[in-house]
């Protein structure tokens, strides 16, 4: 009998995108697209309907993995997969480049729909408005005519944000230092001399900037070599290029140290080696005034810095931690003066992590499934686990809402949900939780913030 022709293939490829997740906020200038394309032989990827990249696949069943440079701000990733028969599947994934939540010592900032919203303390103008009194309800901070904010970071008494045009703006303590006393209370001060900024990292008294070329810039306190300029001593009042660094895609800053994540997955560190925070294997407190690589640390996707500890998220979804461990913030199961580590050490129990966050002596991780985990100091409920007991291993934050972003201040923490709701918990003496007048006590589990 005559052979029948093979059945016609009319089924589109089973396209799946695992990362980025819809609505996710990314704190690195590189987007790693991951997923599965089924039996597709050609994949086309574009960002915001701009320049596309086409991949020709040999065979089928291979996982999808692609790196793209992503600027700060909202974006839509377009992916189409076509099989040999011409059937096509398409997916769109909205996400945002750059962090949009920031917590300081007693203030909080949020980027929402292109506006800057702040609340809490304002003694140094860190709230970006001219009213010195504390405010416990969120309000818009800067005039509409100012450049549109797309990314935000905060430190003790500073708010730093990136505008849509790539400029950087400061409010608070670091603004006064950069302006040499010329900053106006409540107004945003533009950082001159650095254009096309894609990343910012305010430390306790210094600031790092990352431009689109992968160059790092620094200014502020330098008593412990935290600017990475090869010397220690007097503060620097203008942004200065950090020598010896290239292809950087994220910067973080702590109390007296700094770190940079390179595109090849390695990490450079510099500054004061308190409790081994530089990760070089030495616990001796000393100054490292020029960047050095962390030995044997590779395939890093994301960094976070606390007061004197660092977290590194690896490509396999696990986390490494090093530096001070007195409060259990390294997550290796121990606390106290002997719990510090001078080289990257695995954080227990964590897998499938999408991002990490740290502040003061506490740490957090965002799971790829939208859950959040926390460990370390918890004296004001800043871990969000429902009590004020210290944790030495990761414990789930007490919310079932799917989260897409985490941030933290010195004693409080923040989260954003997939539907753009903001949550807060922890200390609240200055109204930094945004819960309204009279709500000054600490909160140990997440509560919704009513944004304007």
Handedness of CA 17, 92, 27, 54 (dihedral sign): positive
The model's pTM is: 0.95
Separation CA 210–CA 166 (nearest Å): 11
The pair of three-digit structure tokens given for residue 138, joined into one six-digit string? 């969120």
pLDDT tier for residue 84 given thresholds of 50, 70 and 90: confident
* 187-232 pLDDT tens trace: 789 999 999 999 999 999 999 999 999 999 999 999 999 999 999 9
**Which domains does the chain show, CATH number per domain?**
16-96 (2.60.40.10), 299-452 (2.130.10.30)
Q: Using CA atoms, how far apart are residues 221 and 16, in angstroms rounded to an integer?
A: 47
Confidence of residue 434 (pLDDT cuts 50, 70, 90): very high
pLDDT in tens, 348-390: 999 999 999 999 999 999 999 999 999 999 999 999 999 999 9
Predicted pLDDT at 104: 98
| Residues 125, 135 contacting (CB under 8 angstroms) | no
């Amino acid at each position: 009998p005559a052979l029948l022709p093979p059945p016609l293939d009319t089924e589109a490829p089973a396209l799946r995108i695992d990362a980025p997740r819809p609505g996710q906020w990314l704190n690195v200038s590189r987007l790693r697209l991951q997923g599965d394309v089924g039996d597709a032989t050609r994949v086309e990827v574009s960002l915001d309907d701009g320049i596309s990249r086409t991949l020709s696949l040999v065979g089928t069943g291979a996982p999808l993995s692609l790196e793209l440079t992503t600027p700060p701000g909202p974006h839509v990733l377009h992916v189409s997969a076509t099989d040999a028969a011409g059937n096509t599947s398409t997916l769109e994934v909205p996400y945002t480049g750059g962090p949009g939540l920031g917590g300081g010592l007693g203030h909080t900032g949020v980027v929402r729909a292109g506006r800057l919203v702040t609340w809490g303390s304002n003694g140094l103008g860190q709230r970006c408005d001219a009213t010195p009194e504390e405010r416990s309800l969120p309000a818009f901070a800067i005039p509409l005519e100012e450049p549109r904010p797309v990314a935000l970071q905060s430190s003790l008494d500073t708010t730093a944000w990136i505008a849509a045009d790539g400029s950087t703006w400061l409010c608070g303590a670091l603004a006064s230092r950069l302006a040499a006393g010329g900053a106006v209370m409540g107004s945003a001060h533009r950082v001159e001399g650095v254009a096309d900024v894609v990343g910012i990292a305010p430390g306790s008294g210094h600031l790092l900037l990352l431009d689109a070329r992968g160059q790092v810039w620094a200014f502020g306190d330098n008593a412990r070599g935290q600017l990475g300029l090869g010397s220690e001593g007097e503060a620097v009042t203008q942004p200065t290029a950090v020598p010896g660094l290239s292809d950087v895609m994220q910067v973080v800053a702590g109390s007296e140290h700094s770190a940079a994540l390179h595109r090849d997955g390695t990490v450079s560190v510099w500054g004061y080696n308190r409790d081994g925070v530089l990760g070089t294997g030495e616990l001796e407190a000393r100054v490292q005034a020029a960047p050095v690589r962390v030995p044997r640390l590779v395939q890093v996707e994301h960094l976070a810095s606390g007061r004197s500890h660092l977290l590194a998220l690896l490509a396999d979804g696990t986390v490494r931690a090093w530096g001070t461990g007195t409060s259990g913030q390294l997550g290796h199961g121990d606390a106290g003066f002997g719990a510090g580590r001078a080289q990257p050490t695995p954080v227990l129990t964590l897998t499938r992590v999408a991002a990490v966050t740290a502040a003061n002596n506490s740490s957090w991780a965002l799971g790829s499934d939208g859950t959040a985990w926390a460990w370390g100091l918890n004296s004001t409920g800043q871990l969000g686990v429902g009590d004020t007991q210290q944790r030495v291993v990761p414990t789930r934050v007490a919310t079932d809402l799917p989260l897409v972003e985490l941030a933290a201040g010195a004693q409080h923490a923040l989260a954003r949900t997939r539907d753009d709701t903001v949550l807060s918990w922890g200390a609240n003496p200055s109204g930094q939780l945004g819960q309204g007048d009279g709500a000054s006590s600490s909160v140990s589990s997440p509560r919704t913030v009513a944004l304007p």
